[in-house]
Amino acid sequence: MGSDRGRLMLLDTPSLYFRAFHGVPRTVRGVDGRPVNAVKGLLEFLAHLVAVRRPTHLVACEDADWRPAWRVAAVPAYKAHRTANGATPSGPDPLGGQVPLIWAALDALGVARVGVAHHEAEDVIATLAARSARPVDVVSGDRDLFQLVDDARGVRVLYVAQGVARHQVVDEAAITARYGIPGRAYADFALLRGDPSDGLPGAAGIGDRTAAALITRHGTLAGVLAAAADADSGMRPELRRKLAAARDYLVAAEPVVRAVPDLPVPALDDRLPATPRDPAAVAALADALDLDASFNRVLLALAAASSDRGDAA
């Protein structure tokens, strides 16, 4: 993929601010005493990612709905365990109160951000990645976005589960090495083995190894189910019975697991800002939140990255 077109960075912003909230001490507070640890962490993450990866274009993607009704209707268990823990569309307090501050900071800096009604950030990311003419870096701590990896289109995931500073670059080879499946088959694999973190049980009795073997042999979930329905496919009878029992769940869960690639995301000015859109608002936020150093690191990273983007913008 030609570097002259630059590179688009898509932030799974909820994933990042959750990690910031749990990774930065809650003793970090603004001048009025309110917690701002998630804001500080998100700013530090942004500064590091821009400084290291030098994107030419950047979008912070939002959860307009963290648990969409249409996904819950298909699989009622979807994220149900999180509601018991006091989660909201913005997260558990005191994180929820910091999310508007994060959006205000990004707006003042001039970072494009977008969400789409009734959808999650992963759907916005999938849509923007699908329509991008540039290579794409998806930044997330959630494995479900591995389904977007596509070497031919230059789409990769910067996986931050071990920390933003130690993020891993996930391409098709990394997926194959990690899971033993074809690089673009993660969604089918995840459907079979499930994802407890999202309340998705998968097919009962089918773990990682079996799911990987099935996807490697049959290519897709549709291929797996077709083989399970065919007595002459060579699939073991016990495995065919497990898949037959799970068929209704797998069919229902498929649209829940797959990120939506064709949302009506409005046109965005996603160019990396060289200078803040609203310097006065940046200064006011930095003072009120007592985060001058964090804002300054972001501003320095943006200026440095913008200075070498050339014609890519």
d(C-alpha 293, C-alpha 295), whole Å:
6
* 201 and 299 housed in the same domain: no
d(C-alpha 21, C-alpha 183), whole Å:
32
* 148 and 242 housed in the same domain: no
d(C-alpha 74, C-alpha 94), whole Å:
31
Q: CATH code at 227?
A: 1.10.150.20
| pLDDT value of residue 77 | 94
* 154 and 240 housed in the same domain: no
CB 175 within 8 A of CB 181: yes
| pLDDT value of residue 5 | 81
* 160 and 247 housed in the same domain: no
**Residues whose CB falls within 8 Å of the CB of residue 142, separated by 6 or more in sequence, listed in order:** 12, 15, 122, 197
| pLDDT value of residue 263 | 98
Number of domains in the chain: 2
**Final residue belonging to a domain, choices 257, 272, 287:** 257
Q: Which position has the token pair 């819950």?
A: 72
* 168 and 304 housed in the same domain: yes
* 266 and 250 housed in the same domain: no
Q: Calculate the average pLDDT of the chain.
A: 94
Residue-level length of the chain? 313
Domain that holds residue 241: 186-257
Q: CATH code at 60?
A: 3.40.50.1010
| pLDDT value of residue 86 | 53
* 193 and 47 housed in the same domain: no
* 281 and 133 housed in the same domain: yes
Q: Which position has the token pair 């670059």?
A: 169
Residue 286 to residues 5, 13, 39, 44, 279, Cα–Cα distance (Å): 33, 20, 11, 13, 10
* 18 and 161 housed in the same domain: yes
Kindly provide the residue ranges of all beta strands, DSSP E only, lying in the chain, ordered along the sequence: 8-12, 57-61, 112-114, 136-140, 155-159, 168-170
Secondary structure (3-state) at 227: helix
* 253 and 268 housed in the same domain: no
d(C-alpha 83, C-alpha 92), whole Å:
10
- What pLDDT digit, counting tens, does each position of 182-206 carry? 999 999 999 999 999 899 999 999 9
All residue ranges of the chain with pLDDT < 70 are 1-4, 84-92, 309-313
**Residues whose CB falls within 8 Å of the CB of residue 293, separated by 6 or more in sequence, listed in order:** none
* 169 and 300 housed in the same domain: yes
